[in-house]
Structure 1
């Protein structure tokens, strides 16, 4: 399926009433995430993979310059993309689906975007962030200064235990910031979990996301 120039892949039984998980990917990881979920015995759900987004622009909430030579800057166009997602992608995709709950997930910048969306739309029931880029400047302040449009039923946060090791000072803040978010949401009474996995940012991304999806789906009945 192609909507607004974005390729949409759907995994799962679309004939049944099921939770739907929206996943933004940069390297077509949707199938890998789906297979990991199957291996884990995750409860039935539908996975919607949204591909071909302009990663650094669409997944970033406000502009950020290059972090190192050869890096790409972030355009801060998350608000514009969220409008496309909620007004175009989701309505057209769900013409074929029977949605009971709607989750959003993503890895890295898309993990940051997933959490940011909860402050800017009431469409999602839960947030799953894998190795979210919570080193992003001013994001913690943003969270503390804003309220959710709809409080998530659950929030899943994960990180690799070596992700804070970096020559770039900004990136070294990621674990402290993620733990701070976890504490903040727990104190607010939100069902939140933080899992620290082995490895750096680039290890077992699909597996880490699948863990988050499995946990989040388990919370529905609680």
Structure 2
């Protein structure tokens, strides 16, 4: 395994090269990396690029929305700006040292990172698949976006998971996550995309590295 780290502005990017072939998948992981994750994916033929230093309320939200809780920052909806930084600055730097050819890109994230992963794969042609683990698919306006978006590309494939206790939240917006996640899967399938949905045990904070690893493993194996 070869590792390297570089910075783009306030973002810290770590590259973990587990690849064993010339056609490995490059998976961009959105969000804070945990040491517990890497041993769970070390056997995969992938290059894992994790991005830290993210302003979650700004960078990962596709449009403006009220704060999730009183006293927290509002969601400022700058996902398109962050996606441009990802495509124009982070990806070229992360991939310039890769050997071989035929690399395919995927994107994965947890919570708001999962929301951003789906949004990115739906609006950009850079990714062949996306994994959203416990994604914040309760986000205001999300279902309208999924229902109305159209793309000439049919290649993105999606892995979506959720904890079976997440929709029991006392926050009424977050409590709709179960219904909105299932409806997201149905809408994507109606549009011709391949979707795999998995329900995990526990609430939003249960076995996070294991859930992320499941998603990464799934999209690494060519869904």
TM-score (norm. length: structure 1): 0.90
Aligned to 1:36: 40
Aligned to 1:144: 147
Larger deviation, residues 2-11 vs 56-65: 2-11
In the TM superposition, what whole-angstrom CA distance separates every residue of 1:29-72 from its partner, at most 9, and x where no partner exists?
Answer: 3x43222223xx5x311100011011110000111222322322
Structure 1 pair 204–214 and aligned structure 2 pair: CA distance change class (3 A): same
- Partners of 2:94 and 2:115 in 1: CA distance: 23
Structure 1 pair 6–14 and aligned structure 2 pair: CA distance change class (3 A): farther
List structure 1 segments (4+ residues) > 4 angstroms apart after TM superposition: none
Equivalent of residue 191 in structure 1, options 191, 194, 198: 194
In the TM superposition, what whole-angstrom CA distance separates every residue of 1:183-214 from its partner, at most 9, and x where no partner exists?
Answer: 12223332211000000001111111111111
Aligned to 2:167: 164
Aligned to 1:216: 219
Contact 2:41 2:217 in 1 (8 A): yes
Contact 1:104 1:114 in 2 (8 A): yes
- Partners of 1:149 and 1:189 in 2: CA distance: 11
Contact 1:118 1:150 in 2 (8 A): no
Q: How does 1:19-168 map to 2 (within 5 A)?
A: 19-26=25-32, 28-29=33-34, 31-38=35-42, 41=43, 43-98=44-99, 100-148=103-151, 150-168=153-171
Q: Could you tell me how far 1:93 is from its partner in structure 2?
A: 1.1
Structure 1 pair 205–149 and aligned structure 2 pair: CA distance change class (3 A): farther
TM-score (norm. length: structure 2): 0.90
Aligned length: 215
SS in 2 for 1:171: helix
SS in 2 for 1:32: coil
Structure 1 pair 51–206 and aligned structure 2 pair: CA distance change class (3 A): same
Larger deviation, residues 203-212 vs 144-153: 144-153
Point out where structure 1 has 5 or more consecutive residues left out of the alignment: none
Aligned CA RMSD, in angstroms, stands at 1.8
Point out where structure 2 has 5 or more consecutive residues left out of the alignment: 1-5
